[in-house]
Amino acid sequence: TALWVNCKISTGENCIGVLYSFDPEFGHVLLLEKDSKNVWFPRLVFKDHLLDLQVCSVQEPCELNLESNDIAVTLGQKKDSKPEEKNLVLEKSKVLKFLEAHQLPVVEQGDNLSVMDGCVTIEPPYEPINCKSSNTIALSKIQVLLRKHYS
């Protein structure tokens, strides 16, 4: 069953979502909320900011499938899914053009994009979390640019 709750937080905002997890040691709450596009995303409410927690309703599992691919299970990212190959090719092309427009050298290496002479690798589906590098400064720079691309 899905437990819908309303969290009142210190900013005066009410967060309504499905209770995904509660940390009994620290009192933090992890909710799954829906955005304006009806996509699930997580919200972590720290104990220090939690003013009130009320149960709104209990729904059967069929109302909320926690295993579906549209639920974000890591902050701001969709759960691993297998997008159609056509969409990946299009997305790869868009990201490549975006990075080149920002004067960054990009080389295609199979499904991956290699940026800054191999310093950063971007794997499908070409989102900030899919960037890999041992150089944290370069990694951060590319991730910030990709966030701008996706915003």
pLDDT per residue as tens digits for the range 84-102: 565 888 899 999 999 999 9
SS3 of 123, please? coil
Q: Residue 114, exposed/middle/buried by CB under 10 A (0-12, 13-18, 19+)?
A: middle
- Quick one: what percent of the chain has pLDDT higher than 70? 79
Q: Is the pLDDT of residue 59 over 90?
A: no
Q: Specify the pTM.
A: 0.46
User: Is 60 exceeded by the pLDDT of residue 130?
Assistant: yes
Confidence at residue 18, expressed as pLDDT on a 0 to 100 scale: 87
What single letter denotes the amino acid at residue 105? P
Strand segments (E) across 23-129: 29-34, 40-45, 50-59, 106-109, 112-115, 120-122
Q: What is the mean pLDDT of residues 51-76?
A: 52
- Provide mean pLDDT across the span 47-67: 66
pLDDT attached to residue 74: 34
